């Protein structure tokens, strides 16, 4: 377990994460819409899906409310986060499991789909994490990742930082200091954000097909990967 994941076992931090919901709720909500649309386009109704690093269950609730899935497995590496998810997700379709995606793991049966929302930037070895996902999907299964991403160059990464400052409505004269503080905060939280090409590369290395980034809005992106049929 990484320090970043372990930190969310602190009850106060988990509660704060749960009540604040998101740095930029409209942008995150749009990402969730895109992810759900993709899943519904690729999977038969009644499929089984597992969420890696589900936190307090924001996207799992979107999956449940859609009525599309027969089983939703909510997993996270922090028990405090799962505890809060249990309070919000009341359904026989939903199960909960303490699962650290930075370690080897095995699902009870091959999954139709696996999703991860705003979690894999905590994984120091993203190739290992997506390899584990590959092994636990059925042939033809879908991996869908929505996550923080970094800019491909220092210049584009700076533009991302300026957009974050705009969302926070930081006064113009305070933007340079705020950008520096935001970057320091990301580092303290153990956020290991990578450019798009890193995500695309590790998904291809893991053996997935149809690897693509289907949506991006500054620092948030959605990646699709499909396990080939045997």
Q: Which residues lie below 8 Å from residue 106, measured CB to CB, with a gap of 6+? A: 135, 136
Phi, psi of 191 (to 5 degrees): -80, 120
Q: Is the pTM of this model over 0.75?
A: yes
Whether residue 200 is predicted with pLDDT greater than 90 in this model: the reply is yes
Give per-residue pLDDT as tens, 9-54.
666 766 666 667 668 999 999 999 999 999 999 999 999 999 999 9
The encoded tokens of residue 86 equal: 């249990």
Q: Any bridge partners for residue 99, and if so which?
A: none
CA gap 31, 149 in Å, rounded:
13
Give per-residue pLDDT as tens, 157-190.
999 999 999 999 999 999 999 999 998 988 887 8
Whether residue 4 is predicted with pLDDT greater than 70 in this model: the reply is no
Question: Are the CB atoms for 118 and 147 separated by under 8 Å?
Answer: yes
Provide the Cα torsion 53, 57, 61, 63; round to 10°: 10
> Which is the CATH superfamily of the domain at 3-150+193-226?
Vaccinia Virus protein VP39 (3.40.50.150)
Domain segments of the chain as ranges: 3-150+193-226
3-state secondary structure of 160: helix
C-alpha separations of 86 from 80, 83, 89, 144, 185 in Å: 10, 5, 5, 23, 29
**167 exposed, middle or buried (CB, 10 Å; 0-12, 13-18, 19+)?**
middle
The mean pLDDT of the chain is: 92
Whether residue 135 is predicted with pLDDT greater than 90 in this model: the reply is yes
């Amino acid at each position: 377990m990484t320090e970043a994941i372990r930190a969310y076992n602190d009850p106060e931090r988990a509660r704060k994460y749960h009540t604040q919901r998101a740095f930029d709720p409209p942008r995150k909500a749009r990402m969730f819409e895109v992810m759900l649309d993709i899943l519904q386009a690729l999977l038969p109704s009644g499929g089984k899906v597992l969420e890696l690093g589900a936190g307090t269950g924001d996207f799992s609730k979107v999956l449940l409310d859609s009525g599309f899935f027969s089983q939703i497995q909510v997993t996270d590496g922090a028990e405090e986060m799962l505890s809060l998810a249990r309070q919000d997700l009341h359904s026989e379709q939903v199960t909960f499991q303490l699962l650290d995606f930075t370690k080897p793991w095995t699902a009870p049966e091959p999954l139709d789909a696996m999703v991860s929302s705003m979690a894999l930037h905590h994984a120091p070895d993203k190739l290992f994490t997506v390899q584990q996902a590959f092994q636990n999907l059925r042939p033809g299964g879908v991996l869908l990742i929505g996550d923080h991403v970094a800019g491909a160059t220092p210049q584009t990464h700076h533009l991302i930082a300026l957009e974050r400052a705009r969302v926070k409505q930081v006064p113009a004269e305070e933007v340079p200091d705020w950008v520096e503080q935001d970057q320091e905060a990301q580092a303290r939280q153990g956020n290991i954000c990578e450019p798009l090409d890193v995500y695309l590369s590790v998904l291809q290395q893991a053996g997935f097909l149809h690897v693509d980034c289907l949506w991006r809005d500054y620092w948030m992106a959605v990646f699709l990967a499909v396990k080939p049929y045997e």
